[in-house]
Structure 1
């Protein structure tokens, strides 16, 4: 689900901290309101001007499946909430993009014999399960999977504030079309002149849960290096 984690306020604006699809509104806010922003720190998603095209992805690609109304609801509905959350954490902590075959659904890509990531405990699973039992999955499916096409692009974007991107080296998102190029060929620097990208070895898509102390250290270091004038 999208996460715009929070903000560190100052007299001149806010430092935005975001994860996953929450990075998109964080980037948009920083571009549209530079006078209200001191910096933006995003985990797992670089700034992709124009987005990442999924036209070349196979039909079983999870985003294509989940943006189809009713598809994920039917898939998830075969299991209890705990099993669904468990499967998502297993699949999304891998380095391969979750993709089903023609005769599979996304929930079929892991079963109860597949161990949880070593950093994600049964206690963690119980907490997340209790939360999703209350909220359901309607919003996480609507935003972002079924709302990506509604984003209004910003013409000629240029960040006026420092940008910090933290990526796990084994985050499957790096394999999305165009993402690795944006990170490594200098494309993002065209839009963010004051840019820092840091990779965490062995880091997955859930790098902030996998290595919380390291991520906090990096974010605090960025704040220290960019004090408010």
Structure 2
């Protein structure tokens, strides 16, 4: 049987975010699998979402591999999906052929995962970690508008930061059109899936569980890995992030790491520039298959 490639989404994404990559992987002879994490989209809500952590997402990946009878797979993660991708590779190295992440390098959940204190109070992660605040902010709009707003904010090259007395949703300019690579039909698919799941679990994982220690004392990913970053991805402006990647410090944790920067790429580079991203992914898969 062809090697499996499991795609892990970020936020405000869903399995559908990998529509271009799944077709490319399948056409290249791979078994393409894209999931909705527990609490997202088509998947069931956990009994106690307020207690969920990134470890639950690792369990989801391993459980699915087991249920499908897959011994080893390539793992591809985007945004916060990068974290369980690397965690699976670190904790269950025997199950991973290789790792590809987009938009976020190797990071481990814990107290120092993101240094919020180095950014203003209006930093979107800080705001969404505050119980009830995002719920009230999002609750002023329908689900489709919330997804639209976040997609447009995250497509920019600046970190979303609200002013005092302003909420994150207020940063959105309603006159801004959708980018050409994200259609109204695409938006409707996202909205229909989030209308089913809501945002309760999505706010817990990643945001409110980001600082929960995952219990790994010596994190190291031995599997061959590829990091794809857009040069215009706002994540590069997180404190120390660009230097962490460009200086090679990230390779202390992922020694066999190849890094590719895409000059025009934003945070959704896999949707924005699917042909170029697909070429990078398929080349990596073929090299390590």
Query: Considering the TM-score relative to the shorter chain, is it more than 0.5?
Result: yes
Is residue 135 of structure 1 aligned with residue 135 of structure 2?
no
Match runs of 1:70-219 below 5 Å: 70-219=132-281
Runs of 4+, deviation exceeding 4 Å? 2-12
Q: Distance in 2 between matches of 1:32 and 1:193?
A: 16
C-alpha distance 10-38 of structure 1, shift in aligned 2 (>3 A): farther
Q: Distance in 1 between matches of 2:250 and 2:222?
A: 13
Secondary structure at the aligned position of 1:75 is classed as helix
Q: Distance in 2 between matches of 1:165 and 1:3?
A: 20
Q: Distance in 1 between matches of 2:215 and 2:270?
A: 28
C-alpha distance 197-3 of structure 1, shift in aligned 2 (>3 A): farther
TM-score by length of 2: 0.73
TM-score by length of 1: 0.91
Pairwise CA RMSD of aligned residues?
A: 2.1
Q: Distance in 2 between matches of 1:122 and 1:99?
A: 26
- Cα deviation, 1:57-88, whole Å, max 9, x if unaligned, reads 10100000011111011111111112111111
Query: What is the CA distance between 1:153 and its match in structure 2?
Result: 4.6
Gaps of 5+ in 1: none
Gaps of 5+ in 2: 1-10, 16-33, 36-60
Secondary structure at the aligned position of 1:51 is classed as coil
2:131 counterpart residue number: 69
- Cα deviation, 1:17-56, whole Å, max 9, x if unaligned, reads 1111111111111011112211111111101355231111
1:222 counterpart residue number: 284
Q: Distance in 1 between matches of 2:128 and 2:173?
A: 19
